Amino acid sequence: MRSETARPTAEPETTRQRDLVVLLVALGAAVVLARVVAGITRSGDIPVPVFQVLAADAAVWVPLVIGAVWVLRHTTRSAMVARLRIDLGDVVFAVGIVIITRVVDVILSIAFTGSTGLVPAPALGPPDVGLLVVSAVGIVLVSPFLEEVVFRGLFQRRLAAELTPRTRFLAVLLTAFLFALLHLLLGAGTTPVGDFQVFVTTFLLGALTGTLVAVTDRIGGAVLAHVLFNAVAVAATWPR
């Protein structure tokens, strides 16, 4: 594994700065669109639950995809594939990240609510399997991949290149903070205590995956950790 501090910067400074602005605009657009869609859903204009989920997901995914495509427009396919590679060490670290973050999340949940939070929600009737599957695919596969590409693969990398070798660790922390803040703005928590728990857990997840990316210069392990982290919640809360 090689340190990010030793990696040469290939992109011109102005290009990196423009890419950072584009990514920030994409994140801001995702928050605005998500809130617009949430308002439309509350008004009853999207009555079908599956369409509600798809609309909410699209509101976030579309701006992020546009921002990522813009930033990656000059990146070769071979370079993108190389950064997605996963080796055994990545798998080990990814599993460790999931264990740490899930333990912290459970401890916070027990401290605040007396429950782990990883239990199926009470249902009044048979579950809507189609809705569950659509939600699970978005939560477990699409969102982790897209978020890791945008945050760790693009934003953190370019932000680190703007810092000095001694301060590049701040790119990991600042990106993790932005990652946690996005989840709060998207309404991941439903109460102030829930917001705090979401922020701490997502910041920790972002900091650990960001560290893995900084050390390996690959995002494959970070994507795997994020997928497993979300998969644990989906599997634990799946209706029985």
Tell me the residue range of the domain where 14 lies.
4-237
For residue 6, pLDDT over 50 is answered with no
For residue 98, pLDDT over 90 is answered with yes
Can you tell me the distance from the alpha carbon of 142 to that of 82, in angstroms, rounded to the nearest whole number? 20
Mean pLDDT over residues 99-112, rounded? 96
The phi and psi torsions of 94 (rounded to 5 degrees) equal -60, -45
118-166 pLDDT per residue, tens: 888 777 678 888 999 999 999 999 999 999 999 999 999 999 999 998 9
Beta carbons within 10 angstroms of residue 25's beta carbon: 14
With 0.95 as the threshold, say if the pTM is over it. no
Q: Which candidate, 139, 151, 143, places its Cα nearest to that of 233?
A: 139
19-54 pLDDT per residue, tens: 999 999 999 999 999 999 999 999 999 999 999 999
Q: Compare 189 and 174 and report the one with higher pLDDT.
A: 174
Counted domains in the chain: 1
